[in-house]
Homo-oligomer: A and B are copies of this chain.
């Protein structure tokens, strides 16, 4: 409640079109507010269906300080649960991938079915009501091979995303992928600075010389083609090939297919595909990239040969963990169809450059001399959308309203 008053006052101070007041980036109470309220209000891209290939497969991860687990049921339905035992709260499934016909707590072996029901608890009295001790469910939806989760009581709308972005994702064949590599970075910066960094390419021309080889770093918003004949031709070619380009966006998401720089077919060091076995065989794999985002924490790029997934999760007021995953066709053979080093090289370099920029940003934002500065409308429109979205949600929380973000 103290935090609500503080956040409300900060929202009043905030000036549209300008970076946020300092406390949004470095105040522990605002951070606690973010974890408790903002991260619970929205959909998170937590993984991919191919990561849970068979009944009993599970994927555990931590959202802020909250461990969750995603599980494929015997009925093939993918569900999500708070990864916290209903006995004394132990984390049930260790972070990462696992498998098992039941969920057995490592502490006292209380045993839950894959649908969350408590089915065994040793040494409990006769009057113990198992039905009162099932796992807490979280919202889970899937679309185009992607798994989304939401920790809210009532989740925001998912249907618009499924309807509009679903076909764009389906075209990427993610259901037939596998995770080929995962890299985790710890960044000494507030999660909002990580996401502002991830939402603009204003810094790319100088900050990411390697990325600039393939990625159109001077692009605006959703890679608008304008009257560029090359871009217009790309768009027409994609539509003809049945690869919807969008752009589409909703309250908490965005998706658009766009062409890479001339002559480039993948986001690698040289623009050549890093994988021989393609996920998208249409047009010989010359299909640009589909970028899609969850406003609060993630973006992903699907080229013909791979999917690169970026997810940031706050761990402290000025610490954020970034997880990168690279997916390739499930039948691609390591060492034969692809080499992991080559597969990850470009985005790994890029993520480390961004980490350094985020940390530089945080150090300067901590200054008693920090003042919010004006964003570039051209180069930072999606940063502005992010901070507008955040401030809108934060206002909803402190007023108890539920106004949609438009």
Contacts and interface: CB of A to CB of B under 8 A. Distances in A.
A89 to B, nearest CB: 4
A54 to B, nearest CB: 25
A89 B367 contact: yes
A19 interface: yes
A400 to B, nearest CB: 18
Interface stretch (A103-111, A264-272, A333-341): A103-111
B361 A107 contact: yes
Contacts of A85: 364, 373
Task: Quickly give the copy total for this chain.
Answer: 3
Interface string A86-99: 11111110000000
Contacts of A360: 90-91, 106-107
Contacts of A67: 363-364, 366-367
Interface string A361-403: 1011111111111111111000000000000000000000000
Contacts of A357: 90, 106-107
A298 interface: no
B368 A151 contact: yes
A371 B86 CA distance: 7
A375 B128 CA distance: 10
B376 A91 contact: no
Contact of A373 (B40, B88, B370, B372): B88
A62 B64 CA distance: 29
Interface stretch (A201-209, A281-289, A319-327): A201-209
Interface residues of A, number: 60
Nearest to A86: B373
A196 interface: yes
A392 to B, nearest CB: 20
A91 B364 contact: yes
28 contacts: A19-B87, A36-B368, A40-B368, A64-B368, A65-B367, A66-B366, A66-B368, A84-B364, A84-B370, A85-B364, A87-B374, A88-B365, A89-B361, A89-B365, A89-B367, A89-B371, A90-B364, A107-B357, A108-B203, A108-B376, A122-B202, A122-B376, A122-B379, A124-B376, A128-B374, A133-B373, A133-B374, A151-B368
Given A66-B369, A138-B369, 13 more contacts: A68-B367, A81-B369, A85-B373, A89-B370, A91-B363, A106-B360, A107-B357, A108-B202, A108-B379, A122-B202, A122-B379, A123-B379, A133-B374
